[in-house]
Amino acid sequence: MDKVCAIFGGSRGIGRAVAQLLALKGYRLAIVARNLDVAQAATSDLGGDHLAFSCDVAKEHDVQNTFEEIQKHLGQINFLVNAAVINRNSLLVRTKTEDMISQLHTNLLGSMLTCRAAMRTMIQQQGGSIVNIGSIIGLKGNFGQSVYSASKGGIVGFSRSLAKEVARKKIRVNVVAPGFIRTDMTKDLKEEHLKKNIPLGRFGEATEVAHAVVFLLESPYITGHVLVVDGGLQLTM
Ligand code: NAP
């Protein structure tokens, strides 16, 4: 059977690093993001017959149509990675309702929609593997990140529950929870200051998270697991 993986948020950062590893391992990839030009550029860098798709994970119709398009062009999806994110740091009292909604919709609802869409074919095939990207902030909380933290904590509860629902169909659902990783999302953070709290003394690289994602995607006897990849940050939080 072909290994077909859809990577939502695969055009940049951690999702893109996952795509690079999976391409080397012979997967056929759907690289999904809102900005099609960036997704296409990331896809052509991979070589091979991978495809880029434009989709807003927060929109049910978009997700549904994208799954149909992916299956039409690449075949049945048996692997799924959810790495799409938006992050708006602010104290709760200063956070606008629309910013709460957009973060929850992209970071949490989006993963629910893609997982539900994937379930249909994975149940039919009696197998599949999903990795949702959470965050150490979803486990430990952080100043100025209550909404982002809620969306990421939600990913853990959602993924563990779904893992229980679909294990008998041989579908696995796991979470990778990164600490501070060098991507566009963290480009405005002050690494010099923050790295003092990280036992390994630096931010992580997207590839270092990608290895954990690929490990969970391909581990036949692991489901409902949360794998923290944070340079030891959680030891200090
Ligand atoms: P990133 O570099 O900012 O990339 C985000 C990706 O998500 C892009 O491909 C972006 O493409 C896509 N995206 C954003 N909104 C979308 C939407 N509504 N629909 C579809 N795609 C959307 O982020 P990252 O740092 O790699 O983060 C990846 C995952 O790791 C996220 O779940 C994040 O919470 C988690 N994480 C990251 C860190 C870190 O330090 N970087 C730490 C902990 C957890 P478009 O903008 O074109 O849509």
Of the residues 67, 148, 158, 180, only one is catalytic, namely: 148
Say if ligand 1 is within 6 A of residue 86 CB: yes
Dist CA 10 CA 30 (whole Å) = 8
Do 159 and 133 contact (CB within 8 A), yes or no? no
CB distance 12 to 41 below 8 Å: no
- What is the residue-level pLDDT of the chain in tens, covering all 237 positions? 689 999 999 999 999 999 999 999 999 999 999 999 999 999 999 999 999 999 999 999 999 999 999 999 999 999 999 999 999 999 999 999 999 999 999 999 999 999 999 999 999 999 999 999 999 999 999 999 999 999 999 999 999 999 999 999 999 999 999 999 999 999 999 999 999 999 999 999 999 999 999 999 999 999 999 999 999 999 999
Instruction: Enter the CATH code of domain 4-235.
Output: 3.40.50.720
- Among the residues of 167-232, which ranges form H helices? 191-194, 206-217
Q: Name all contacts of 113-117 with Cβ < 8 Å and 24+ positions apart.
A: 113/57, 113/58, 113/60, 113/63, 114/6, 114/8, 114/57, 114/63, 114/67, 114/80, 114/82, 115/80, 115/82, 115/158, 115/162, 115/173, 117/63, 117/64, 117/67
CA distances from 81 to 22, 65, 125, 133 (A): 11, 17, 18, 8
15 Cβ closer than 6 Å to some ligand 1 atom: yes
Contact 39, 17 (CB under 8 A): no
136: CB partners within 8 A, 6+ apart: 177, 178, 179, 228, 230, 233, 234, 237
**126 CA distance to ligand 1 centroid (A)?**
29
For 121, which DSSP code?
H
Structure tokens at 127: 């197998």
**Does the beta carbon of 52 sit less than 6 angstroms from any atom of ligand 1?**
no
Question: CA-to-CA distance for 174 and 198, rounded, in angstroms?
Answer: 24
Q: Which secondary structure element, helix H or strand E, spans residue 55, and what is its range?
A: none
> Residue 12 Cα, ligand 1 centroid: separation in angstroms?
7
**Cα separation, 192 vs 26, whole angstroms:** 38
Cα-to-centroid distance, 106 and ligand 1 (Å): 9
pTM of the model: 0.98
> What are the helix (H) ranges across the chain?
13-24, 36-46, 60-74, 97-104, 110-125, 136-140, 146-166, 191-194, 206-217
Does 148 participate in catalysis according to the annotation?
yes
Q: Strand 171-178 and strand 51-54: pairing?
A: unpaired
Q: What is the pLDDT of residue 123?
A: 96
Ligand 1 touching residue 203 (CB < 6 A): no
* Closest residue by CA, ligand 1 atom 48: 34
Which pLDDT does position 2 carry in this prediction?
83
Rounded Cα gap, residues 117 and 112, in angstroms:
9
Domain map (residue ranges) of the chain: 4-235
Q: Which of 12, 65, 142 most suits a substitution to test ligand 1, by most atoms within 8 Å of the C-beta?
A: 12
pLDDT of residue 86: 96
Using an 8 Å Cβ cutoff, are 214 and 18 in contact? yes
